[in-house]
Amino acid sequence: MTGNFVIYNTLTRKKEVFKPLVEGKVGLYVCGPTVYSDSHLGHARPFITFDVLYRYLNYLEYKVRYVRNITDVGHLEDEVEGSGEDRISKKARLEKLEPMEVVQKYMNSFHFNMMQLNVKPPSIEPRASGHIIEQQELIESLLTKGFAYESNGSVYFDVEKYNQDFDYGKLSGRNLDDIRTNTRKLDGQEEKKNSFDFALWKKATPEHIMRWSSKWSDGFPGWHLECSAMSTKYLGEKFDIHGGGMDLTFPHHECEIAQSTANLGEEPVQYWMHNNMIKINGQKMARSLGNFVTLQELFSGNHEILEQAYSPMTIRFFVLQAHYRSELDFSNEALQASEKGLNRLMTALSTLNEIQASKVSTVDFDSVKEKCFAALNDDLNTPIAIAHLFDGVKIINSIKAGKESISVRDLNDIKSFYNKVVFEILGLQEENSDAKENSEILSGVVELLIELRKQAKSNKDWGMADKIRDDLNKIGIEIKDTKDGVDWMLK
């Protein structure tokens, strides 16, 4: 119905027509969050991006199994921080919580944020801590096949050996010689044959709380391992799409490919998709850089750099107004633009329900529809798709204004088109309307005040009329005099 869906594949650095391994079915894996603190705006981007991918694949009538992991075993800290302490256990000590309590807390808040952003839950959300056995089995297999070696209770992946049979660095465009000469010297690497070897199993230091027993040592899995183990378990040895942030390309995804390929003999993933970063003041927003704004802060406006609160849908729309492979600059001005743009789009959708159909259509909506889907098909180009939605808005408004007319059939067609694209595929939703509809008491009170104001107006008592309007405005209720009467909404 909608032509070929094209995806930019990081592996080939080209756009490719998407063709699933199994007709009609898609296996999708996306790197999920490490749950040790609240999610920030940067985290929201991949989850919104791949949520739209998931929704679009569903729209294209694929049966999708979407796996998105939760990293809850913690990984090594930056060496500069000392100790090699697990980042989750470190936080736990600071807050005097059990590690799993920290995990639970932030997993809950992550889920809540995702719900606010209308990000659909994945089909399976496996936790690394629940797949220690699978990860150990994978290590075992790599040891048996000679791609890993044990050293002082830890197990490392032998990159050199792997590179003899396969191509280490193909995803990120590196080769081993470059890596060899350019890898920085880090401490605590004497155990490894080569500095670029990475841990599959790490022996825990005494103060490390999160640990599991194994034949090698009491320890914990290396940070690339869980994705290999869990994607294989739930999606099979070969699956269609793997997504994640661009900053994970190397080393994380590179190592993931190496582990899986060494184990399975062939590459597991057909299409690698990477979203770009959100920037703030010209720099990547990242926890480590301390320049982040959490989603909760964004939604409440409670952060010094925020001029106001921004609703979840504003954030979602903001993210979708840029292509997922482009950098996106954060600023109050940009966010406010998105807020107003979204409002314009949503207003047009409700206008759609007020339009009276005529016998004939004087407008042609087909090109809007075609261009919109063409954009989505072109590597999920949501900004272009949205641009065409706005072209449609212009048409809708001119019908409303009586400049154009539309037949019943075409009107229904447009309604279903906007429903599909805006709500189903882009995953936007109405905000605020709930409060208005759900509170009969409030609604009754406001209607009464509007009635009183109307009387004041007919008596030309502008002072009273304006007082009612302005005071309501102060407590967050906006009164609008429109052609068709008085409308009100919660701000």
Partner RNA sequence: GGUCUCUUGGCCGAGUGGCUAGGCAGUGGUCUGCAAAACCAUGUACGGCGGUUCGAAUCCGCCAGAGACCUCCA
- Closest approach of RNA to the CB of residue 140, in Å: 23
Across 425-464, b (16+ Cβ under 10 Å) vs e yields bbbbeebeeeeeeeeeeeeeebeebbeebeebbeeeeeee
User: Site residues for RNA, window 251-290 (CB under 7 A)?
Assistant: 251-252, 275, 277-279, 282-288
Which residue number, 62 or 229, has a Cβ lying nearer to RNA? 229
Q: How many residues bind RNA (CB under 7 A)?
A: 87
**String of contacts with RNA for each residue 364-393, x by CB under 7 A:** -----------------x-xx-xx--xx-x
Interacting residue with RNA among 27, 42, 126, 312 (CB under 7 A): 42
The count of other CB atoms within 10 Å of the CB of residue 281 is: 10
Site for RNA in 223-242 (CB under 7 A): 223
344 binds RNA (CB under 7 A): yes
Nearest distance in Å: CB 331, RNA: 5
User: Considering the rule CB under 7 A, would residue 103 count as an interface residue with RNA?
Assistant: no
Q: DSSP of 196-208, one letter per residue?
A: T-EEEEEEPPTT-
Complex with RNA: residue 10 or 20, whichever CB lies closer? 10
Shortest reach from residue 267's CB to RNA, in Å: 20
Beta-carbon contacts of 269 under 8 Å, excluding residues fewer than 6 positions away, are 11, 29, 238, 239, 240, 241, 242, 257, 260
Q: Both ends of the chain: CA-CA distance in Å?
A: 40
Q: Which two tokens stand for residue 432?
A: 């605020």
Note whether 355 binds RNA by CB under 7 A.
no
Q: Which is nearer to RNA, 62 or 72 (CB)?
A: 72
Q: Which of 34, 135, 314, 377 binds RNA (CB under 7 A)?
A: 34
**Distant-in-sequence, close-in-space partners of 324: CB < 8 Å, separation ≥ 6:** 45, 49, 273, 275, 276, 380, 382
Q: Which is nearer to RNA, 114 or 285 (CB)?
A: 285
Restricted to residues 294-333, the positions that interact with RNA (CB under 7 A) are: 321-323, 326-329, 331, 333
For the CB of residue 323, give the shortest distance to RNA in the complex, in Å. 3
Which one, 62 or 66, has the nearer CB to RNA?
66
Residues 424 to 463: which contact RNA by CB under 7 A? 457, 462
d(CA 211, CA 206): 10
**Tokens at 23, concatenated:** 């007709």
CA 96 to chain centre: 31
CB under 8 Å to 356, separation ≥6 — which residues? none
Site for RNA in 45-74 (CB under 7 A): 45-46, 71
